[in-house]
Structure 1
């Protein structure tokens, strides 16, 4: 039968802690094991909790990025409220809580980042570490004219050390599909892959590092092969949408495909 250990509070208060512990161990060696187990349990709980909180805080943002006039701000408004809103070129970020349309009702912080070339880098730098997903919005109607600029911006994101390390989902939102001359998502993907492949060749000498360390540019895709989005270590999806909608200001937006993708994050 196990010997019951009675803790004498009077002895505990009058003797040094070390002496008290020595006496208890001499009386029952399992006492020391119990102390170590209790300490280990506390340490493990603290470490797990800090890791859990850090993970939840770190990757809770969905960033709307892209060139100027791609329709990011209107898409931001439609996702949040469903309403049409007249917009103008943004010079600051806008953020709000967005509830995904899934059974869990997952909530993300939706952030609309300015698309102007002179502003993009500082805002990407500010928010990239918290990105759960990057929604790269392109203007499908004039994509042919903007493909080089769009590819350069996308290249800078996909070779950023922090982005690669955190591996957010990439959703390429091919916006303005209500316009007759809009390019399809498939064609946009093919043209971006071609342009990114060219950029990879011309910029390879400028890579500061190829080891994926934080803050360093990394190699895009697989070496020795033409670039394809399927080579990336992140989930990539192209979706067609129209923030304006086929019926104009009075109608609803055509963003169901994007909402479904956001619901799967």
Structure 2
């Protein structure tokens, strides 16, 4: 009678264990089959699985990066004409503007047959506001339109160069390599500098800034570390040395005929259509 009770208890225990882990027989069978396999075969399976995982991670990162960076940022100093250019690109209409203290954004469809739609974002130009808005949107930038006031460029060249230096040595921008379009605006004004001259003077100024900033970093910690190096070491700076595509173009958001006329922004629109 005791034996029957013992057998019954063992049966109940086995049934309980089976209920708690119904997959144990299958796991045990799989373990035995794995042990019977050739080690070389098992290594091949592991390598194949690793390749699949790495490929999936890469594809996810690649596709995500392509879809996230869909913004076109309008940046530049105060009164360079960014906000009027923003209005002209969106509607073609002239609009009286004032200094922006926050960002403005809207969908923008380039003049192309591909059907692409970007988010056009006008960032404030005041030096106290630029850093926070640049930090907010730089990761999404597919292109950066850097607007320069060609009429008073000679007086602002140092400030323009310093802002450009910040952009070009930013780790996120350097990694994502958005297209950089330097829009030399206000070409309708007689004293406006040409895009070629602006490029040449900015290259000289950026080369000077690179030397002074590198020297400052070296004096602080005894090394050349502390930030991204602009251009190529041992050579004077040129925009062609940058990892992103750079284009200088001339435009006039106001237009040669004033408020009632059309803007002269065809070169900028053509460049945006190529993104």
Using the size of structure 2 for normalisation, the TM-score is: 0.78
Q: Report the 3-state secondary structure (helix = DSSP H, G, I; strand = E; otherwise coil) of the residue aligned with 2:111.
A: coil
- Aligned partner of 1:168 among 178, 194, 197: 178
Give 2:259's aligned residue: 249
Q: Does 1:126 align with 2:163?
A: no
Give 1:229's aligned residue: 239
Give 1:62's aligned residue: 72
How much has 1:49 moved relative to structure 2? 5.7
Q: Does 1:135 align with 2:145?
A: yes
Consecutive unaligned residues of structure 2, counting only runs of 5 or more, are 1-21, 35-44
Give 1:28's aligned residue: none
Consecutive unaligned residues of structure 1, counting only runs of 5 or more, are 1-12, 26-34
Give 1:185's aligned residue: 195
8 Å CA contact retained: 2:214, 2:224: no
What value does the CA root-mean-square deviation take over the aligned residues? 2.9
Shift >3 Å, 4+ stretches: 13-25, 39-49, 206-211
Distance 1:228 1:83, change over 3 A: same
Give 1:111's aligned residue: 121
Q: Report the 3-state secondary structure (helix = DSSP H, G, I; strand = E; otherwise coil) of the residue aligned with 2:180.
A: strand
| Post-superposition CA distance 1:33-82 (Å, at most 9, x none) | xx99xx89996885466334411343211111100000001101111111
Larger radius of gyration: 2
8 Å CA contact retained: 2:162, 2:206: yes
Q: Report the 3-state secondary structure (helix = DSSP H, G, I; strand = E; otherwise coil) of the residue aligned with 2:236.
A: coil
